[in-house]
Structure 1
Amino acid sequence: MNQPIRLPAQAPSWSRFGAWRDQRLARLTALAGWLADSSLDPTLWQEPLSELERRLQRDQVQLAFVAELSRGKSELVNALFFGSTGQRVLPAGVGRTTMCPVEIFNDPEQPISLRLLPIETRAESRLLSDWKARPQEWQEHRFDGGDAVAMSRALQRLCDTVQVPLERARELGFHLPEDDGQVSALTAAAGGAGPAQDVEIPRWRHALLNIEHPLLAQGISVLDTPGLNALGAEPELTLSLIPSAAAVVFLLSADAGVTRSDLQLWTDHVGAAGRARSFVVLNKIDMLWDPLRSGAEVQAQIRGQCESVAQVLQVPPSRVFALSAHKGLLARIQGDDTLLQRSGLPQLEAALGECADRERRDWIEGSWRATLLDTRQRLERDLDARLRLADEQRMELEALQGKSKHAAAALLQRADAERLEFDAAVGLVQAVQAVNARQMARVAELLDAKRALQRLELLRRELRSALVKTGLRAALADACDELGLSMNRAESLLEENQSMLAGACVRLNNEFAFSMPLPKALRLDGARLDLEAMRADYLRFAGAVQWLRMQSSAYADRVLLSAQARLRSIQERGIADAQHWNRAAVASLQAQTRERRRSLHRRLSNLQQVAHADGELAERIQQLRQRAEQLRELRQQLSNRFELALPGAEALAAAA
């Protein structure tokens, strides 16, 4: 009988983020609902809160499983995610393993299915991200999401291979045994491995598995990579997917330790940046369970292996986990808690759960607090300005008590003059907005990576016909430097823009009694860090180790396409950061202008009523007094509502 996929009870940290996210979404929904029912200007709060909501709902944390063939990656994924189904779901075991990278995720808007991209697509100059936007090119296999047997049967296709001539294998980016004398993922077809013989290669280039899973539904996704050959042939895996993972699980075999191919995979495809996010798994420790040796001797041998691995890979020993994925899966299927603890699986499970939980919370928490505090500050300034204007108008009318209508007429005349002054202020605001729009258009032009992209595009065309493909590393460095210089120029222009906006705010505050906050400085630090990381990743990847692969036109083309896509992504982040800063800087200016216009209209209306009708003065004063009280109450409610939404609200609620 099929069993539903459940969360592992032994690792409660897996499920904590889901509850935390639901709580945050509920707070945000309550805050946005209250703001929508209030009289507060939507332009001051709607966009930032909507962006927070989108971030919470779309947040994804990917765990990448990286290892050479036959280290037990798929079995570990089975043990961590599918043990509750009562069977092995992903193909694993002797002679059965996944032959292509597999992304496992939950997208409720897409059908439950396995989608497979044919290996022949490697011959075309398109990125994996481009192929994902072309669903018609994938072979789709749908199955009942609640039927683990049907899912397991569909996933057997991940083991598919196809025989092709040696030259065709090279064209598709596979590294052949005779290329350097090393064992590869390709196996010779029957009859030997001579130059004219066929070899077996994976039938599929990439797989996308969309399933219903309580853990994946909370924003976890899995990337299972099938060894050095696949990683070497797909630059996007090394340069995009693995670097974006929150954690990298690097598997070794306990009986072999760190082999030469393991070390090459670790150095070339995990790299220094990934090392800080890596969990090293010494798998198959059950092979060391020797009944002729004492438990203490076995544990000492395992500890020695872990210490040796930590030293070779230069990672803290606390990041090395010895376990048996096979025994862990078996224990889950049989409900054997003793075997589960002996397998070592719960320790890794808890560490990964803590990492995923912390990664997502930290990523969201900083922007959550900053966004809410900034939004509250803007709304409070707006309310303070409205309250001040209401009090000024009330005091102005109170000064008319006991005086003739001529005094009211004089005030009306003065209000008319102030309206003319306001029109001058509006003219200044419009002029500032026009200059600001031109400046931001120039910022977007500066951040446009056109020249850097053109440099790479020119090299792409040159390499297609070049017999020996050189210059890629230098071109990548130049393209990154070009975008870096553009960022410097854009930041200088943003500083000028900030000075211009600050000068306008000071003038509006001094001459027209606005209460404009000075715009904050902006540095494109996020985009710059992305660019620095890209530069390091690509220059490392395009080194001497990959030189032979780079001689393939299709492979070099994919590397350059990947670099172009990442440059565009960095450019878009820089432009988005600049636009977000600009909208925040201009929002208060626009809101105060609108409120000042409404206030002048109310003031003129009050004075006209008082000047032309008896008995209106006391009524208008009372209305303004009530309005001021309402604004003070609204400000207090605003403060309370934001306190409930900010981090730390749980402690406040508990104390109350």
Structure 2
Amino acid sequence: MSKLVEKFREYSVWRTGVVSALERYRDAADAAGLADESSGQRIAHMLSRLAGDKMTVAFVAEFSRGKSELINAIFFADYGQRILPSSVGRTTMCPTELLYDDRMPPSIRLLPIETRATPLSTSDLRLQEDAWTVMPLDVSSADSMLDAFRQVGLSKRVPVEEAQRYGLYDAADAGSGMTVGADGLVEISRWRHAIVNFPHPLLKEGLVIVDTPGLNAIGTEPELTLNLIPNAHAVLYLLAADTGVTRSDIDVWREHIGAGAGRMVVLNKIDSLWDELRTPAEVAGQIASQVDSVAQTLELAPSQVFPVSAQKGLVAKIGKDAALLEKSRLPALEQALSQRLVPGRRELMQLQLHAETAELLASRQSLLSSRMRNVVEQLVELKSLRGKNQNIVAHMMKRIDMEKADFDASLVKLQGTRTVFATLSDELFECLGMDALKRDIRVTREAMEGSMFSLGMREAVRRFFSQVEGNIILSSRKVGEIGEMMTVMYRRFSAEHGFALSTPMPFSLKRYADEIEAIEAAYQKQFGAGAMLTTPQLVLMQKFFDSIASRVKQTLVTANRDVEAWLKVVMAPLEAQIREHRDQLKQRRNSIERIHLAADDLEVRVDALQRMQAVLEGQKQALAACEAGLKAALAAELPAPVLLFA
């Protein structure tokens, strides 16, 4: 526990440092008059990302493998007793998220199982407060919290038809663990999903714990397959030393989890191998043999399997028994989890922020450089007028007027570019927009409802993905056209008017295309071409599509938001320097005109520009200091992670 707390606090300190550095840079840019709507939005987006940063750890296993006990041992031992119910049999009946949101009071939000009869996914229903049953959580009483948590494990008995309508029962699936009782009823969970808002120190720091209700739920609850497990930063896959690796264990590992960064196998209940009649070395040898067997079966290195006794680890922590804690081997798992989870998340956040801040800093530097260059040019221009007659001054006024005429001509050309830009943007959102997606979802649902055969339903879903992927390809082409057009305009204004512009900010829809591809791959694993599906499986396929549609919608909503932000940003540096150049031309014309009328104004204007030059130099130094502080905050080192996986 202490290592996890330490790592989370280090990460929290790093985030706080980056937030402070970003705010200082924002204030410095604002004080220098360099802030605009585009830069403000970008900084606000980065601050929001840091404030809302979460790290998710998912616990996956068949029931009776000790998931809830392991969560208690790792996270909640300080309460002096179990917080999550843990006993023989199935105690977690629905996917449960433990998190903290300071905008809400401590509570348990429970989504009734009846919502599975609607076309809405769990993600859709998160936004509908009236769909949830809310229970207050008394965090001052461990017993009260334990009683509240027991609500998550409540079940009820329903007719077979009702269980099938929810996609929870298939008579042909002998491995589901669900049977029809003598009363003709099937036992199902009372709840579809639970969200526990709990002000635990680690949860306050952004940790989210996901407790799954068993392997069967992975096949029947699309939220787990499409969202919670794939997006978890760490997945702890539990096996039990007293049961070994079952066929379903292997299938779930290969199809839904698999080896990779943040995926850890935990061999629980090693205390079942403890034997007073054997020496410690013999017991350790037997545990090592079990670890080797699990590693071979799952095609892993033995170092990727962590043998523990969650129950003994919890007892040891509560009783402050250091020897028993060491024997439980829980500290080794906690160490591995802390070293892998936090540094990995920080590295990802750091890479994202580096890219965003680089563009932000470059655009502000270009604008400030443009101002300084214009001031220097004005100074050179005005100093050259010393001792010159009125005819030369008049000639310089005409030259500025010619510059302005050339610049105005460029702006006319830019107006044509703006028109094309608006047209391409409209075409882009027509391909990527929500109207097209809603139409595709409606057409697919109608086709699935009209076909109760697996071939027809698979074809409807195939067409859906083909349409979505085609729209992303078309959108990518529009993004490319806009990028090329803006590159030409950047180069033209830089060459013709001396603008300090680098290439436009690049943008790609590849990340969103990859997300859609991953969603399709998850669907193919469960319902791809192959054996004919039973009627209950066809019902489940329809439920799965509801979640697929929700996930695709979330992905495209994010893509639309990011495209919209990029369209504002890609034009912003050019627009800012156009405004700056226009103002400078006006100031130069006014200055020389006043000098033409009154020669005494020359030295006054030179003096004013020199003071302005000093002010700009001071702003440049202040901004450079804030830039250096921001880069240092981003690069601040945390202890190097221990690489668990090659």
Fold in common (TM above 0.5): yes
Structure 1 unaligned segments of length 5 or more: list them: 1-6
Shift of 1:648: 6.6
Query: Who is 1:28 aligned against?
Result: 22
Q: Is the Cα–Cα contact under 8 Å of residues 236 and 265 in structure 2 kept in the other structure?
A: yes
Question: Structure 1 residues 140-149 or 476-485, which shifts more?
Answer: 476-485
Query: Who is 1:323 aligned against?
Result: 308
Q: Distance between the aligned counterparts of 2:451 and 2:479, measured in 1? A: 42
Query: Who is 1:13 aligned against?
Result: 7
After the TM superposition, which residues 270-309 of structure 1 pair with which residues of structure 2 at under 5 Å, given as runs?
Answer: 270=257, 272=258, 275-309=260-294
Q: Is the Cα–Cα contact under 8 Å of residues 425 and 512 in structure 1 kept in the other structure?
A: no
Shift of 1:342: 1.5
Q: Is the Cα–Cα contact under 8 Å of residues 18 and 634 in structure 2 kept in the other structure?
A: no
Does residue 375 of structure 1 match 2:360? Answer: yes
Shift of 1:72: 0.5
What amino acid is the match of 2:31? D
Does residue 222 of structure 1 match 2:214? Answer: no
Partner residue of 1:402 out of 387, 393, 396: 387
Q: Distance between the aligned counterparts of 1:546 and 1:85, measured in 2? A: 50
Shift of 1:71: 0.5
Q: 1:414 to 1:463 in 2, by over 3 A?
A: closer
What amino acid is the match of 1:476? V
Q: Is the Cα–Cα contact under 8 Å of residues 463 and 553 in structure 1 kept in the other structure?
A: no
Question: Structure 1 residues 250-259 or 357-366, which shifts more?
Answer: 357-366
Query: Who is 2:641 aligned against?
Result: none
Q: Distance between the aligned counterparts of 1:439 and 1:562, measured in 2? A: 32
Question: Structure 1 residues 249-258 or 199-208, which shifts more?
Answer: 199-208
Does residue 239 of structure 1 match 2:231? Answer: no
Shift of 1:211: 0.6
Shift of 1:360: 1.9
After the TM superposition, which residues 331-346 of structure 1 pair with which residues of structure 2 at under 5 Å, given as runs?
Answer: 331-346=316-331
Shift of 1:651: 6.8
What amino acid is the match of 1:472? M
Shift of 1:636: 2.8
Q: 1:547 to 1:269 in 2, by over 3 A?
A: farther
Query: Who is 1:564 aligned against?
Result: 549
Q: Is the Cα–Cα contact under 8 Å of residues 104 and 208 in structure 1 kept in the other structure?
A: yes
After the TM superposition, which residues 164-563 of structure 1 pair with which residues of structure 2 at under 5 Å, given as runs?
Answer: 164-175=158-169, 179-182=172-175, 184-186=176-178, 193-194=181-182, 197-270=184-257, 272=258, 275-448=260-433, 454-543=439-528, 548=533, 551=536, 554-563=539-548
Counterpart secondary structure, 1:646: helix
Q: Distance between the aligned counterparts of 1:308 and 1:463, measured in 2? A: 44
Q: Distance between the aligned counterparts of 1:266 and 1:215, measured in 2? A: 28
Bigger relative CO (Cα 8 Å, ≥ 6 apart) = 2
What amino acid is the match of 2:82? R
Counterpart secondary structure, 1:100: coil
Counterpart secondary structure, 1:531: helix
Q: 1:135 to 1:499 in 2, by over 3 A?
A: closer
Q: Distance between the aligned counterparts of 2:498 and 2:154, measured in 1? A: 74
Query: Who is 1:4 aligned against?
Result: none
What amino acid is the match of 1:332? K
Q: Distance between the aligned counterparts of 1:563 and 1:258, measured in 2? A: 31
Does residue 139 of structure 1 match 2:124? Answer: no
Q: 1:463 to 1:407 in 2, by over 3 A?
A: closer
Counterpart secondary structure, 1:223: strand
Shift of 1:305: 1.0
Q: Is the Cα–Cα contact under 8 Å of residues 451 and 482 in structure 1 kept in the other structure?
A: no
After the TM superposition, which residues 39-54 of structure 1 pair with which residues of structure 2 at under 5 Å, given as runs?
Answer: 39-43=33-37, 45-54=39-48
Query: Who is 1:64 aligned against?
Result: 58
Shift of 1:124: 1.9
Counterpart secondary structure, 1:45: helix
Q: 1:472 to 1:307 in 2, by over 3 A?
A: farther
Shift of 1:337: 2.0
Shift of 1:480: 2.7
Q: Distance between the aligned counterparts of 1:513 and 1:264, measured in 2? A: 63
Shift of 1:122: 1.6
Q: 1:49 to 1:476 in 2, by over 3 A?
A: same
Shift of 1:84: 0.6
Q: 1:548 to 1:168 in 2, by over 3 A?
A: farther
Partner residue of 1:587 out of 572, 586, 608: 572
Question: Structure 1 residues 52-61 or 19-28, which shifts more?
Answer: 19-28
Shift of 1:454: 4.3
Query: Who is 1:130 aligned against?
Result: 124
Q: Distance between the aligned counterparts of 1:399 and 1:541, measured in 2? A: 79
Shift of 1:357: 0.8
What amino acid is the match of 2:493? L
What amino acid is the match of 2:13? A
Shift of 1:531: 2.3
Shift of 1:106: 0.3
Shift of 1:611: 1.8
Q: Is the Cα–Cα contact under 8 Å of residues 164 and 536 in structure 2 kept in the other structure?
A: no
Shift of 1:405: 3.3
What amino acid is the match of 1:142? P
Q: Distance between the aligned counterparts of 1:314 and 1:400, measured in 2? A: 82
Q: Is the Cα–Cα contact under 8 Å of residues 452 and 479 in structure 1 kept in the other structure?
A: no
- The percentage of aligned residue pairs carrying the same residue is 34
Shift of 1:276: 4.6
Shift of 1:113: 0.4
Counterpart secondary structure, 1:321: strand
Could you give the per-residue CA deviations for residues 484-532 of structure 1, whole angstroms, max 9, x where no partner exists?
Answer: 3333332333222222222222222233333332325433221122122
Partner residue of 2:107 out of 106, 113, 128: 113
Q: Distance between the aligned counterparts of 1:137 and 1:651, measured in 2? A: 44
What amino acid is the match of 1:36? D
Q: Distance between the aligned counterparts of 1:10 and 1:361, measured in 2? A: 14
Q: Distance between the aligned counterparts of 1:540 and 1:550, measured in 2? A: 18
Q: Distance between the aligned counterparts of 2:295 and 2:438, measured in 1? A: 40
What TM-score comes out, normalization by structure 1 length?
A: 0.91
Q: 1:66 to 1:35 in 2, by over 3 A?
A: same
Q: Is the Cα–Cα contact under 8 Å of residues 14 and 633 in structure 2 kept in the other structure?
A: no
Q: Is the Cα–Cα contact under 8 Å of residues 28 and 622 in structure 2 kept in the other structure?
A: no
Does residue 608 of structure 1 match 2:600? Answer: no
Counterpart secondary structure, 2:306: strand
Q: Is the Cα–Cα contact under 8 Å of residues 110 and 210 in structure 1 kept in the other structure?
A: yes
Q: Distance between the aligned counterparts of 1:606 and 1:32, measured in 2? A: 32
Shift of 1:351: 1.8
Shift of 1:416: 3.1
Could you give the per-residue CA deviations for residues 127-147 of structure 1, whole angstroms, max 9, x where no partner exists?
Answer: 111222222222211022333
Q: 1:382 to 1:180 in 2, by over 3 A?
A: closer
Q: Distance between the aligned counterparts of 2:162 and 2:469, measured in 1? A: 40
Q: 1:310 to 1:14 in 2, by over 3 A?
A: farther
Shift of 1:163: 1.7
Q: 1:329 to 1:639 in 2, by over 3 A?
A: same
Could you give the per-residue CA deviations for residues 168-197 of structure 1, whole angstroms, max 9, x where no partner exists?
Answer: 323322235x53444x44366xxxx35x52
